[in-house]
Structure 1
Amino acid sequence: MDHEVKILVVDDEDRIRRLLKMYLEREHYIVEEAENGEIALQLAKEQDYDLILLDLMMPGMDGIEVLQQLRKEKATPVAILTAKGEEANRVQGFEEGTDDYIVKPFSPREVILRVKALLRRTSSTRYLQTNTQTKNILAFDHITIDHDAHRVSVQNEEVSLTPKEYELLHYLASSPDKVFSREKLLKDVWKYEFFGDLRTVDTHVKRLREKLNSISTEAGDMITTVWGIGYKFENVKQKQ
């Protein structure tokens, strides 16, 4: 790997930060720490992290507020750290653009497995964007999705998507013109059956459309609402 993975650990408990740092560094990741939301947001804006592990409940600026502010500027992958009894907050976290959550108390092994899985599928992890020729490409008139590189292009301009936004787009585009219910999308994209909020899907579709529309309204219009059912990726004309 020609890129050293850099992770920001954000938690107001020193013990948790040290524990996570120790286990992540064993995997040869570069780890930086922030003890509150204000410091975390400043670091996240100034630097490019491959992943942020973000505690949900912190005094002052909490994890949700950090995520809201960060998503206005960056698509950095975020995994929220949350206690078991905070389901409503976790749902809000997904609505605001988190990519995964890790429930406290957690096992270090689970954290490492989740971190590795998130890094593998993230659209903004540079080591996934290799220069080798790829064939795993979905090419349409207005959108090109290079799945091997997790890269989305609209009119030859790369679109910065969060991992979940990318997964949602790729999932829909992999079955053009097929209608998916919100429940189906929540289950397959978020792997999230036991407590899901359908607003999570709507919020991500809205954000995804906005990002595509900022380059091409034709691209944004390819994600179509099917009233009373869900969403589909409308295949205008697939390139040969």
Structure 2
Amino acid sequence: MKDITILIADDEEEIADLIGIHLETEGYQVLKAGDGLEALRVVETEPVDLLILDIMMPKMDGYEVTRRIREQHNMPIIFLSAKTSDFDKVQGLVIGADDYMTKPFAPIELVARVNAQLRRFIKLNQPKIETAHKTSMEFGGLTISPEQRTVALYGQSIELTPKEFDILYLLASHPKKVFSVENIFQQVWGEAYFEGGNTVMVHIRTLRKKLEEDKRKDKWIKTVWGVGYKFDG
């Protein structure tokens, strides 16, 4: 993994240095940024494969950094923050982060999560995207274009995070089939199920909101109580 570059964005230099030592021991190349604006600059000018991002940083917080990065980039983002509430964790996932760890943390666990995110992104997610069906799928007012990875609702484009798109595409590719939470996690995140139930449910909730299921009579994603979810296209 010597060609993998990881950006550590944290204004606490000691923490960034500690993380850097463990990642370099694993063979990764490490870049560092001390504030949000610097993190954005590095992402735009360097080949970053994964970002470890603090939330409370000078000049621009981690939430805004993630929003801006997600406009152009699809690399895994792991929040590493002193914010420990469920609200903060959910907000981070909704904005577009792939994982969330709280401080204080065990460096060995962070390295394990970095390895897992890279396996998912590089070895599993990209081939899945390349071999996806090329034709658009239409369900009433909903259009899903796998090749462009775009979604439109009654002609209006919807901005989805990469994981939200993958969940919607998985379900829509198999109408009426019921997927368990564990199955969705395994296929979208590319890993064996590991405390991923809440993560899947958060993504489903935000996906439904973006599909305006609370406002329209069309309910594409149905909950099968006690089992999982299905696409009712």
Is the TM-score greater than 0.5? yes
Q: 2:222·2:232 contact (CA, 8 Å) conserved in 1?
A: no
Q: 2:172·2:231 contact (CA, 8 Å) conserved in 1?
A: yes
Partner of 1:86: 85
Partner of 2:136: 142
Partner of 1:8: 7
1:189-208 equivalent positions in 2, closer than 5 A:
191-193=195-197, 200-204=203-207
Partner of 1:66: 65
1: CA distance, partners of 2:79 / 2:15 = 13
What code does the residue aligned with 1:142 have? S
1:148-159 equivalent positions in 2, closer than 5 A:
154=145, 157=147, 159=149
Quick one: structure 1 residues 233 and 127, their matched pair in 2 at CA, closer, same or farther if it must change by over 3 Å? closer
Q: CA deviation at 1:199?
A: 5.4
What code does the residue aligned with 1:26 have? T
What code does the residue aligned with 1:90 have? K
- Percent of aligned pairs sharing the same letter: 38
Q: 1:80·1:93 contact (CA, 8 Å) conserved in 2?
A: yes
Q: Quick one: which of 213, 216, 220 aligns to 1:224? A: 220
Structure 1 unaligned regions, length at least 5: 144-152, 210-222, 236-240
What code does the residue aligned with 1:70 have? I
Partner of 2:18: 19
Secondary structure of the equivalent of 1:81? strand
Partner of 1:50: 49
1: CA distance, partners of 2:48 / 2:69 = 12
Q: 1:57·1:63 contact (CA, 8 Å) conserved in 2?
A: yes
Tell me the TM-score normalized by structure 2.
Answer: 0.67
Which deviates further from its counterpart, 74-83 or 197-206?
Answer: 197-206
2: CA distance, partners of 1:110 / 1:67 = 22
Q: CA deviation at 1:164?
A: 2.6
Q: Deviations over 1:81-136 (max 9, x none)?
A: 022633311110011010011221111110111001000111xx389867xxx9xx
Partner of 2:216: none
Q: 1:91·1:197 contact (CA, 8 Å) conserved in 2?
A: no
2: CA distance, partners of 1:87 / 1:227 = 23
Higher relative contact order (CA 8 A, sep 6+): 1
Secondary structure of the equivalent of 1:69? helix
Secondary structure of the equivalent of 2:108? helix
Q: CA deviation at 1:179?
A: 4.8
Q: 1:91·1:200 contact (CA, 8 Å) conserved in 2?
A: no
Tell me the TM-score normalized by structure 1.
Answer: 0.65
Quick one: structure 1 residues 52 and 187, their matched pair in 2 at CA, closer, same or farther if it must change by over 3 Å? same
1: CA distance, partners of 2:108 / 2:59 = 30
What code does the residue aligned with 2:38 have? I
1:100-119 equivalent positions in 2, closer than 5 A:
100-119=99-118
Q: CA deviation at 1:70?
A: 1.2
RMSD: 4.1
Q: 1:76·1:162 contact (CA, 8 Å) conserved in 2?
A: no
Secondary structure of the equivalent of 1:177? coil
Q: Deviations over 1:148-205 (max 9, x none)?
A: xxxxx957x4549966346524652575422569xx4898468445x66955424346
Q: 1:6·1:50 contact (CA, 8 Å) conserved in 2?
A: yes
What code does the residue aligned with 1:201 have? I
Q: 1:5·1:29 contact (CA, 8 Å) conserved in 2?
A: yes
Quick one: structure 1 residues 225 and 129, their matched pair in 2 at CA, closer, same or farther if it must change by over 3 Å? closer
